[in-house]
Amino acid sequence: MPVGPLILASASPRRRELLAQLGVECICKPADIDETPYADESPDAYVRRMALEKASAARRRHPGKAQWVLAADTTVVADGAVLGKPRDREDALRMLALLSGRAHIVMTAVCLRGAREESTVLVKTRVQFIPLTRHQCEAYLESGEAWDKAGAYGIQGLAGAFVAGIDGSYSNVVGLPLSETWQLLRDQGIPTALSPKASPEAFDE
């Protein structure tokens, strides 16, 4: 059965661009769900649940047998606290102050859902920030980059200057871990530029 166009359950231009890097064309259909964490819900469980609920909501709107939905949720975790998108300027400044001069974890859950199949992966990256002054944080907020990003920063933009180093997937911090996403697509027979026929065989040495 031919594979229908991939539905990306997100309005994120960054995720769409990352899929394009893999040679995957998609249709963006954001899923409108309640993103409030449950009481005592761990960050791992939260991002997994968000990705699954986004994929499920989009799949209900596009129930075709050959239709696949990809959904992802990214969050920043510092001191065990989930840092989502900032509500306002003071919230953004609070987040940047919390990240200043220390390491934090960026985690993304990716869910690929079809008519009967469902696959989910969770990827974590450790990011180290340099110490920041309030003036530097305020200057960054003037760029307008912070408002639609977890943790109030985007590593691919001006805030890349704040990053002393990372341990793990860079694309995960941007919003979609490329290696793991490609493997999910490949394993379900969804063509990409690297696997036009989705062959899962390992390279013969």
Q: Catalytic positions, please?
A: 73
Cα separation, 60 vs 57, in Å, equals 5
Helix, strand and coil percent figures for the chain, each rounded to 5: 35, 25, 45
Strand intervals (E) in the chain: 6-8, 26-28, 69-78, 81-83, 103-113, 118-129, 163-167
Count, residues in the chain: 205
Cα separation, 56 vs 19, in Å, equals 20
Q: How far is CA 65 from the centre of its chain?
A: 26
SS3 165: strand
Q: What is the DSSP letter of 196?
A: T
